[in-house]
Amino acid sequence: MASSSRNAMMYCHPFWVSIFNPTKEYIQFDPGFVVYWSKEVRHNINYLVDPRGNKIVIRIGQTSVPENFFCGGYEIASFYKLKENYFVAIKYLGNRVFDLRIFDTDMTEIQYPAPKNPTHVHPKIPLPRFFNCFNVKLSIQQESITLADAFSRFWDPTFASDNFEMIDPVGNIHQIIISRGFLHMRFITKGIPQFIKYYDIKNDHVLRLTYMGDNKFIVRIFDLAGDEITYITKSTDECSTTMESNDDNPFYFSTEKTLTEYDIRSSSLYLDAQFADVALVKSQKSYNLSNENGDLWECNIRWSNRSGMGCYITQGWNQFCIENGVEAGNKVMFGVDKNRSRTIHVLIT
């Protein structure tokens, strides 16, 4: 179970795009890439793996490699037979491996060659999912933010409204408006001054935005050195909701709840509003509860009639408690993967 959850977390790493010149050995990325690499990766020798499993070695951060560059351009040009400028996009998958995608200047993805010595092929990420997480600079001097070009290009056709929400790791929700610009460009045009004031931001920062669908973004805030801020925590004695922020939490979005005697004997269990709103899909009524062994129990979700009041796990909850030996006083974590499938994972402590 944890393995599948962690595979879903690869969507949570930002993508990075650079113009690739086949006559150059070094590929330059935005300065924020090196800050990200120094915090998240930290290895000098890394690997690019394309969707068919071809692997290319790159070097980052060594004294012989210029800052904000990585070395490996000649090998990429030779292996993929690139004669003109292309866009190279990478996304960190963990364990020193980056997913590699190559596009022509019209953002049409190339056909990758069959590998001679295939390595382990990770599940291919659909392009909208590949481009769902990105970093943008938050300038205190500006009231708007330009979204990443590739994100706008691949996600814009799915947007049904200009009204969006940004939700931070502790569940605080911020209303924003995203407006259309020339061609596929999109901008956050309303909500930024209020956002800056809410977190008392005094200088420029970086926002990491992860699109969850349903016009919702998870937002994380970093200073320019790559250190994440301390968020204003909203919690209750009963439960707390968090987005995955460290390796101890195997889920992308989760809620913890200490169960009472009433909870385990009842035919239903209440889940808080932040978890219900962000982690679950309101049009879905049927879910599966999964224990640590991956065993499944069918359950139903009943949504509260009052806006912002959460939901209830109904049919299946009591049976889950009986068959898993759940007791009063147990702390239970309910978590979902990035793709918000019909499975709610349950960890009991």
User: pLDDT digits over 95-124, tens only?
Assistant: 888 999 999 988 899 999 988 776 566 667
pLDDT at 208 over 60: yes
Tell whether domain 239-348 is in CATH 2.40.330.10: yes
Q: How confident is the model at residue 282 (pLDDT cuts 50, 70, 90)?
A: confident
pLDDT at 5 over 50: no
Instruction: Tell me the average pLDDT across 164-192.
Output: 86
Burial class (CB within 10 angstroms; exposed 0-12, middle 13-18, buried 19+) of 65: middle
pLDDT at 40 over 80: no
* pLDDT score recorded for residue 64: 62
∠ CA 334-336-341 to the nearest 5 degrees? 135
In the structure encoding, which two tokens stand for residue 10, read together?
A: 């690869």
Tell me the domain boundaries of the chain: 2-126, 131-222, 239-348
* CA separation for the pair 240, 249 (Å, rounded): 13
pTM above 0.85, yes or no: no
* pLDDT score recorded for residue 63: 66
Q: Give the residue among 161, 310, 178 at the shortest CA–CA distance from 236.
A: 310
pLDDT at 267 over 80: yes
Q: Which CATH number fits domain 2-126: 3.40.50.670, 3.30.70.1050, 2.40.330.10, 3.20.20.10?
A: 2.40.330.10
Q: Does this chain's domain 2-126 share its CATH topology with 239-348? A: yes
Residues facing 86 on adjacent strands: 20
The torsion angles phi and psi of 45, rounded to 5 degrees, stand at -95, 120
* Cβ-contact 82, 104 below 8 angstroms: no
Strand (E) or helix (H) holding 164: strand 163-167
Amino acid letter, residue 52: R
Q: Which CATH number fits domain 131-222: 3.30.465.10, 1.10.260.40, 3.30.360.10, 2.40.330.10?
A: 2.40.330.10
* pLDDT score recorded for residue 37: 81
Residues 6+ apart with CB under 8 A from 267: 314, 315, 317, 318
Q: How confident is the model at residue 158 (pLDDT cuts 50, 70, 90)?
A: confident
329 alpha-carbon distance from chain centroid: 32
pLDDT at 136 over 60: yes
